[in-house]
Amino acid sequence: MTSRRSRISLAVAVAAVILLAQVGINIWQHAAGGTRYFAWAPNDYLVTYDLQVSAGGRPLTPEEIQSRYRLDLTNRLGEDTKAKLRLAKVERYVFEDPPQELKDRIRRYEQTKGKHDAARVTLVYQFDGGREQTWLWPS
Amino acid sequence: MAVAELRAQEPRPAASLNPFRVRGTALPPNVLLAAKIVTLVFLVTGGWRLTSPFVPFVGFLGDIASQATFQHTLQALWLIAAASLLLNQLVRPSCLILGGTLLLAQLSSMAYRTNNLTFTALLLLMIGLSDRNTAKLLIRAQLVVLYFWAGTNKLLDANWRSGAFFESWVGIHAYGPAYKHLADLLPSMVLSTIASWAAILTELFISVTFAIRRLVPMGILLVIAYHSSLFLVTGTTFTMFWFSLTAACVALVDWPAVAPTVKYGEAARFGRIAQLLERIDLGHAFAWERSDGAELELVSGEERLRARDALARVLLYHPTIYLAFYALAAIQEPARRWAAAVALAIAAYAAVQLVSRMLNSRSQVTRVTAPADVP
């Protein structure tokens, strides 16, 4: 009986740790700035962007870029939409997390798996329809 | 009647292999049903394929095995746990494995992590860590954390407060034109700002409803109404979000400890429907009793309901209906907004019932206290 009770208590304690960890992660991610990894921010961000990548001097196709960074490069921005939202003409794709997470993914891939490819990346994006920005790798 | 009660209380073989059964395990029936719903949807949508490592959050997860071995191991673990859960075997450890593998898959891949999968994993983990006494408390706590931070994140974001996010988000989706038409009737950004603040306040209020026990029914209705409205308007379930959140609500519904008894006569009102519901009661969730000419009646503990109220309660406690509904809703097809419409209709009916019950109980209290107030 006692061991059963303590086992239940242990399970509840583990659950409490998971809940407290979420609170900690949320505070940390807000304090850290631009990312929301494992923080609760469902569908809270909209990045419209274009991505150009060359590896070893050769420009990669959208299919190659999609596979390289596991991004959804479905062309979702028509000319009418871009005109209505005053988005840059080059932007074609949509990313629904903070822009820093997109940059992190590219940077970390290029620092690890892709480090011998001498890749050059140009990311042109707008965040929530704001001003156009450009991010380069290597920066 | 006595026979029916005996049948209802009859001990059933624990750990039945019938996947439609939700009683006789270490978990409350509706909590087990919620876990089965999430698992079933994950199977139908192909989510069980999980992922191979890609730019992992935890570095060594990318190095412990080849990509294919890592993914296939996770898949095998997930499928074995899913089979075990659906067949009512080791239900709590199965939930821990289902949630754990899903969380591990997300830690192994930056590209795979999403809020909806994180919630699904945590819901399964909370169920796995709970028992008959703690299940609802842990699920409520998870919902409080989710909605509090989801609302707070929006509140702290200048683009949410100003409506800039909403204006852009609506603009790129297919339902943009209808929204634009409505927005054109108002000054610039007004509709987007209203919609943004409505979302912020709704999410923060939902977190309060799950923190206070007596407000939980209101929280359940708000979650179903809020997410089903989004589903209806956008046509997307936001991957697993709609499924997992509504399943969590199923886990929080007050559910009878013993299988309710249902009496009906085939020729009476609702008789045919009751007959159909008996036929599809594959998990023996009710003790059915037929008697000629009897009005549909549901007896659950002290509660005795008749006619339409009894029918509503049979539908509410019918696991086969839930499993069929979610399996159909999970099938990818363009016209699946019907599921959102059904959920909204149920929430509306439940809201009317809840309000009328509150008004009735208030009028009874007034009647009881009135004589004392008369001088």
pLDDT digit string (tens) for B192-237?
999 999 999 999 999 999 999 999 999 999 999 999 999 998 888 9
CB nearest to B129's CB, from A15, A26, A108: A15
Percent of chain B with pLDDT over 70: 91
pLDDT at B367: 56
Q: What is the ipTM of this complex?
A: 0.93
Residue range A104-111: mean pLDDT, rounded: 97
Q: What is chain B's mean pLDDT, rounded?
A: 91
Q: Which residue of A has its CA nearest to B107?
A: A38
Cα gap A14→A17, rounded to integer Å:
5
Cα gap B87→B83, rounded to integer Å:
6
With bands split at pLDDT 50, 70 and 90, how would you rate the model's confidence at B365?
Answer: low
* Cα of B109 to nearest chain A Cα, Å: 10
CB contact under 8 A, B110 and A40: no
pLDDT at B334 over 90: no
Cα gap B192→B15, rounded to integer Å:
51
Q: List pLDDT tens digits, range B29-77.
A: 999 999 999 999 999 999 999 999 999 999 899 899 999 999 999 999 9
Backbone conformation region of residue B270, classed left if phi is above 0, alpha if psi is from -120 to 50, else beta: left
Cα gap B274→B230, rounded to integer Å:
33
Residues of B in contact with A18 (CB under 8 A): 122, 125-126, 129
Cα gap B53→B110, rounded to integer Å:
8
Residues of B in contact with A129 (CB under 8 A): 164, 167-168, 171
Written as one string, the DSSP assignment of A80-91 is: HHHHHHT--TT-
The pTM is what?
A: 0.92
Q: List pLDDT tens digits, range B255-288.
A: 999 999 999 998 888 999 999 999 999 999 999 9
Residue B63: partners with Cβ closer than 8 Å, 6 or more residues away: none
With bands split at pLDDT 50, 70 and 90, how would you rate the model's confidence at B374?
Answer: very low
pLDDT at A2: 54
B290 sits in which H/E element:
strand B287-290
CB contact under 8 A, A46 and B165: yes
Both ends of chain A: CA-CA distance in Å? 62
pLDDT at B84: 98
**B110 and A98 in contact (C-beta within 8 Å)?**
no
Cα gap B138→B223, rounded to integer Å:
17
* DSSP reduced 3-state for B110: coil
CB contact under 8 A, A84 and B138: no
**B235 and B226 in contact (C-beta within 8 Å)?**
no
Q: What is chain A's mean pLDDT, rounded?
A: 92
β A58-59/B303-306 pair status? unpaired
Q: List pLDDT tens digits, range A40-95.
A: 999 899 999 999 999 999 999 999 999 999 999 987 788 888 888 889 989 999 99
With bands split at pLDDT 50, 70 and 90, how would you rate the model's confidence at B311?
Answer: very high
pLDDT at B274: 96
pLDDT at B172 over 90: no
Residue range B117-144: mean pLDDT, rounded: 97
With bands split at pLDDT 50, 70 and 90, how would you rate the model's confidence at B366?
Answer: low
DSSP summary character for residue B109: B
Q: Which of A18, A47, A105, A132 should be substituted to probe chain B, the one whose Cβ sees the most B Cβ atoms within 10 Å?
A: A18
DSSP summary character for residue A47: E
CB contact under 8 A, B110 and A112: no
